[in-house]
Structure 1
């Protein structure tokens, strides 16, 4: 009967060990989640209620979908990309602060994409359509 605790016998196993599989999946998940955070201003997609592109934030229009998202009881914070001028960001910052949400201007050279504003929850909300359509 083979001794399962002997290191040489453990090295001769066929295929990856359960631990190798778990570590591999965990590392892949971490990379995927970081890429997701880089798209949504540091937030996970599953927590985003609504988002605006840079062009939308910089336009003269105030998007009612964002004001509605700010009023959503699940909303906990608003993230604005640091390149958004404070004058433009304040259109969403003021109602968010009035509702008690945290508002943060964020900056990271790893941020990718065109997202300029995110209204997010503290927990997963699984909103299917998070992007406000151009009108």
Structure 2
């Protein structure tokens, strides 16, 4: 390990000790990617798009905590805070004017959990193919050969 010089001491005194993965911490409201269970972007928070999935995630992760982006107006965070209170999940508003991030809400732990899919769009994409496969299987099981022929004939004439 190299010795610290005067510049290092000055930098540390003015800006604080450097944290590992600092850019990752800026993006995810002060936490690391490996600790995150679920994330909503600012747009998803403001449009209340991910509330149903957030509720499902809160049920799955009762020991997590929520970090909210302080740059979002309080009126857009009401629903998320009410949901957190309902499940007794602590929430903190992170206001850092220096960091510009697209992240609006982070469901995180104090330790690494290494969740593979944390973004709402990734979770929705995972569930959508699963639902179509399930519905296709159930229609194949329930359909009779005569019913299939009738539907094919109807499709021909439409």
- The structure where helix makes up a greater share of residues is 2
TM-score, normalised on structure 2?
0.60
> How many residues are paired up?
109
Q: Contact 1:46 / 1:124 at 8 angstroms: preserved in 2?
A: yes
- Unpaired runs of 5+ residues, structure 1, are 1-18, 21-29
Please tell me whether Structure 1 or Structure 2 has the larger radius of gyration of its CA atoms. 2
Distance, in Å, in 2 between the alignment partners of 1:110 and 1:129 is: 28
Matching of residues 4-83 of structure 1 within 5 Å: 19-20=1-2, 32-73=20-61, 75-83=63-71
- Unpaired runs of 5+ residues, structure 2, are 3-17, 125-158
- The structure where strand makes up a greater share of residues is 1
Instruction: Please report the RMSD computed on the Cα atoms of aligned residues, expressed in angstroms.
Output: 2.3
What's the offset of the Cα at 1:109?
Answer: 2.8
TM-score, normalised on structure 1?
0.69
Residue 94 (1) aligns with residue 55 (2): no
**SS in structure 2 at match of 1:55:** helix
Per the alignment, residue 131 of structure 1 pairs with 119
Per the alignment, residue 106 of structure 1 pairs with 94
Per the alignment, residue 84 of structure 1 pairs with 72
The structure whose RCO (Cα within 8 Å, separation 6+) is larger is 1
